[in-house]
Amino acid sequence: MVFSSSGKIFYASESITSLLGHLPSDLLNMTMYDLVYKDDHSELYNVLLNPANTVDAIHYSDTKGWCYILE
């Protein structure tokens, strides 16, 4: 998935369907904020404003993924 610093989704691969249950074409009309719980919006905002210089693995339950944030 490729998204802007404001969270607007520009690209999602076909593999996103098995991970999030959304078709890539559906995500193009969404933002990252549409995909996270409302209580987590402020944390997402801070991540988007202050991207790390390195790529770190993100662990959620049994799922492992990587997040690339380009400035």
End-to-end, the C-alpha distance of the chain in Å comes to: 15
When the pLDDT of each residue in the chain is averaged and rounded to a whole number, the result is 78
10 sits in which H/E element: strand 9-11
Distance between CA atoms of 67 and 64, rounded to whole angstroms? 10
Tell me which residue range forms the domain holding 11.
2-66
Evaluate whether residue 23 is within a structural domain: yes
Q: Which CATH number is 30's domain given? A: 3.30.450.20
Q: What is the pLDDT of residues 14-62, one digit of tens each?
A: 999 988 889 999 999 899 999 988 998 988 888 888 766 445 545 455 5
Q: What is the pLDDT of residues 10-23, one digit of tens each?
A: 999 999 998 888 99
Q: List the structure tokens of 29.
A: 């009309």
pTM assigned to the model: 0.63
Number of domains present in the structure of the chain: 1
Evaluate whether residue 62 is within a structural domain: yes
Evaluate whether residue 71 is within a structural domain: no
18 sits in which H/E element: helix 16-20
Distance between CA atoms of 20 and 13, rounded to whole angstroms? 11
Q: List the structure tokens of 36.
A: 């996270």
